[in-house]
Amino acid sequence: MRYAKRGRLRFASHRDVARAFERAVRRAGVPIAYSQGFNPHPKLSWVGAAPTGAASEAEYVELGLVRQVPPDELRARLDRALPDGIDVLDVVPAGVGSLPERIDASAWRIELLGVDHGELCAAVDALLAAEHVEIERLTKSGTRTVDVRPAIVSVTVAQPSVESVQVSGSLMEPDRWRAGAVDGASPHRRSGCGILTAVVRQASPTVRPGDVLNALRVVAALQPPSTAKAVRLGQGRLDDAGHLVDPLAEDRAARSASGSVSFETS
């Protein structure tokens, strides 16, 4: 299942989102499967949740069901039961393999108010030219130094007209950006607003939008005067051309070919 996290819900933690889904499953009467043991819990498996404060058009969860439910019906029932800002976009019966096996990278759009286009281009050039870029990351055990450069696949700076990332399977169309259909992604044609599209591998540790900005700060002393807005555009596997492959495409194609429905729903 692919869902979006929009509006005020971008500030919800992953735990808050998980609880919202558990409540929605009960309200919608979804025949969810439960784990065994003394404390059974619904079988919801999450993949690469977006950080608190970031919006997303490509969050994924696997649901284990005890009986078949038509995907369109399941999407509609859950969408009605979830709070505004969590929107179910696609439901596909699961095929062979699991979602984590099909997701190894993310594409992010990062909007930087008060940053000159030329300054941002120079900073990105410096970042991509560097072999290693170490940043300081605060963890529960203290400050940790992380080299984020190997995980950064590409960073591009948008021109005054709005750009979008290329994702196999058409997860995001340019017209949606121009129409302002994506949270935090209104068109900007004025000076003083830099817009990045960054594709990063979801290695360990995971590199997130804040890490990309910290890397730009390290290599070029880039310091945006206001808080950046980040929206995840897509997740998936990187193909040979460096594009993200829709992780639900294989299941969608398999269902079209066989017409069958599995008890595991992605």
* Residue % of the chain over a pLDDT of 90: 64
CA angle 170, 174, 179 (to 5 degrees): 125
pLDDT over threshold 60, residue 256: yes
Cα separations in angstroms, 76 against 69, 70, 179: 11, 10, 24
pLDDT over threshold 80, residue 154: yes
pLDDT in the model for residue 98: 82
Of 103-107, 147-151, 176-180, the least confident: 176-180
Q: What is the pLDDT of residues 189-222, one digit of tens each?
A: 445 689 999 999 988 778 999 999 999 999 999 9
Q: Which is more confident, 47 or 130?
A: 130
Q: Is the pTM of this model over 0.85?
A: no
Maximum Cα interatomic distance, the chain, rounded to a whole number of Å: 59
What is the phi/psi pair of residue 265, to 5°?
Answer: -115, 130
pLDDT over threshold 80, residue 266: no
Cα separations in angstroms, 238 against 23, 103, 202, 219: 34, 8, 11, 26
pLDDT over threshold 50, residue 169: no
pLDDT over threshold 50, residue 163: no
User: What pLDDT band is residue 179 in, cutting at 50, 70 and 90?
Assistant: very low
For the chain, what are the domain ranges? 2-101+247-265, 104-245
What is the phi/psi pair of residue 218, to 5°?
Answer: -70, -45
User: What pLDDT band is residue 148 in, cutting at 50, 70 and 90?
Assistant: very high
Radius of gyration of the chain (CA): 19
User: What is the 3-class SS of the chain, one letter each residue?
Assistant: CEEEECHHHHHCCHHHHHHHHHHHHHHCCCCECECCCCCCCECEEEECCCCCCCEEEEEEEEEEECCCCCHHHHHHHHHHHCCCCEEEEECCECCCCCHHHHCCEEEEEEEEECCCHHHHHHHHHHHHHCCCCEEEEEECCEEEEEECHHHEEEEEECCCCCCCCCEECCCCCHHHHHCCCCCCCCCCCCCCEEEEEEEEECCCCCCCHHHHHHHHHHHHCCCCCCCCEEEEEEEEEECCCCCEECCCHHHHHHHHHHCCCCCEEC
pLDDT over threshold 50, residue 230: yes
pLDDT in the model for residue 186: 47
User: What pLDDT band is residue 257 in, cutting at 50, 70 and 90?
Assistant: low
pLDDT in the model for residue 187: 47
- Find out whether 55 and 49 touch, Cβ atoms under 8 Å: no
User: Can you state the angle between helices 117-129 and 209-220, rounded to 10 degrees?
Assistant: 90
**Average pLDDT, integer, range 138-165:** 81
Q: What is the pLDDT of residues 1-56, one digit of tens each?
A: 999 999 999 999 999 999 999 999 999 999 999 988 888 899 999 988 999 999 99
How far is Cα 103 from Cα 177, in angstroms, rounded to an integer? Answer: 24
pLDDT in the model for residue 242: 83
What fold, for 2-101+247-265? Alpha-Beta Plaits (3.30.70)
pLDDT in the model for residue 183: 58
